Amino acid sequence: MDFPGRPITVFLGSLGYYLGNYYPYVRLNYDRENGNSSFSCVLTVRRYFSADNYLYIGYGRGTGLLEDLTVQDLLTTPGNIYLAGTTWYIFRSIRLEFNFSRTSDKSISQKTFQLTTGYRWQ
């Protein structure tokens, strides 16, 4: 990303491996602005009950821990994030998804609840 007068470099990556019904994965984020850098790491574990249905929990530490990052999120102080949720299909076509996260650092605490639904044609 390059903003006028404020260049920011962001590197993102993830690594995961299926272990039977479990899928642990780690998401890494490194960003640099004007010689200052920060790093975050989020470990999440999914427990699959079928090919589409799963529960997950996760924990992370660092900066830039939110899913939808803004420039201010990238420059914030290090914090913690706790994640939990599920994705479940009912009648093979109706998708229900629930997500909860709690992000906190020295200056702010944010809780997010999200409930979404959708339909897939087969």
Domain ranges of the chain: 2-119
Of residues 84 and 74, which shows the higher confidence score?
84
Does position 29 have pLDDT exceeding 90, yes or no? no
Model confidence at 32: pLDDT above 70: yes
pLDDT at 14: 95
Class assignment of domain 2-119?
A: mainly beta
pTM > 0.75: yes
pLDDT at 77: 62
**What pLDDT score was predicted for residue 79?**
83
83 touches 44 (CB < 8 A):
yes
Q: Are 21 and 6 within 8 A, CB to CB?
A: no
